[in-house]
Amino acid sequence: MLTILFITATSLAAESSFVGGELDKLEISSEATEFKLELGGMWSSGNTDTRTLTLQYDAGHVWRRNRVSTSGGIIFGSSVVDLDGDGRLSLDEKSVGRVETSNRRESWVRYDKLFDWTGSHSVYGLVGGYSDIYAGYDARVNAQIGYSASLVTMESETAPTLTGELGFDAAREQQVGELNPQSVFAARGLVSMGFTTLRGVQFISSLESFVNVIDPEDTRLNTETSVVAALSEMFALKLSYKLNYDAQPVDGFARADQTGLVTVVTTVF
């Protein structure tokens, strides 16, 4: 088997990862802009035949007491399937070709109105959505408003940070195989913490919850943990793990999705 590995990306369908919980806080005493790209992929042939690509971005712009941020990306995968389940790929199965195994696209835009020059308190609005048929959604569009506060604020670059958010989320979802879209209204809460070691390694972890205000048993939990280590002035290596739980998933789909990624991050500006 010949395997060429640019950077490993193991991915299953995942729920939204909203802007604001992870994007680095920019200096707001003056105008500033930041744009980051993440890229990962895998290609193998021989006894297995699999291709996976993930591309993600985070960007933000700050001026006066305003901050606009956006994030999004794609995860796409295909492979030759072991149709008869014998644990190997026959010539007939290889002749069928690869089939799509994952396809997720998402994009989010958020605006924060900052209460002070430190950026520790803000009110925000967010719009965006995603498409992921392997999670049961042809499309899911969200609109959100809320309040964000830095619960721990220190001047040191290596000091820990703790952020909390409370808000309201309205979603319009088109489920796979359904003709009529559905609306979901939920209360949202988020807690995010992070710190940087003396060697410059960043650790970030967040927990996000959505509770349907009409049906409280319809609850979603999203958690993400990541470690970022600098490789050079322009590039960094990021290891991340996401777990997304839906108490009432689309019929026929699993409650929990997991995504493990190892990507290269570059700060464009």
pLDDT of the residue at 7: 35
Q: How confident is the model at residue 266 (pLDDT cuts 50, 70, 90)?
A: very high
Rounded-to-integer distance, Cα 54 and Cα 42, Å: 9
How large is the average pLDDT for residues 59-75? 94
Instruction: Tell me: pLDDT of 243 over 90.
Output: yes
Show the tokens assigned to 163: 């952020």
How far from 184 is each of 81, 85, 89, 233, CA to CA, in Å? Answer: 36, 39, 43, 44
How large is the average pLDDT for residues 57-78? 94
Tell me which residue of 106, 39, 6, 74 sits closest to 265, measured CA to CA: 39
Centroid of chain to Cα 243: 10
Tell me which residue of 103, 89, 104, 107 sits closest to 45, measured CA to CA: 89
pLDDT of the residue at 249: 93
Q: Are 206 and 221 in contact (CB under 8 A)?
A: no
Report pLDDT digits (tens) over 93-102.
Answer: 888 888 898 9
Tell me which residue of 135, 117, 113, 131 sits closest to 20, measured CA to CA: 113
How large is the average pLDDT for residues 182-193? 97
Tell me which residue of 170, 179, 186, 78 sits closest to 138, measured CA to CA: 179
Show the tokens assigned to 218: 């319809």
CATH 2.40.160.40 is the classification of domain 2-267: yes
- Beta-bridged to residue 73, according to DSSP, are 56, 106
Q: Are 38 and 263 in contact (CB under 8 A)?
A: yes
Percent of the chain with pLDDT strictly greater than 70: 86
DSSP 27: P
Length of the chain equals 269
Amino acid in position 168: F
pLDDT of the residue at 94: 81
What's the predicted TM-score (pTM) here?
A: 0.84
How large is the average pLDDT for residues 182-196? 95
- Other beta carbons within 10 angstroms of residue 3's beta carbon come to 12
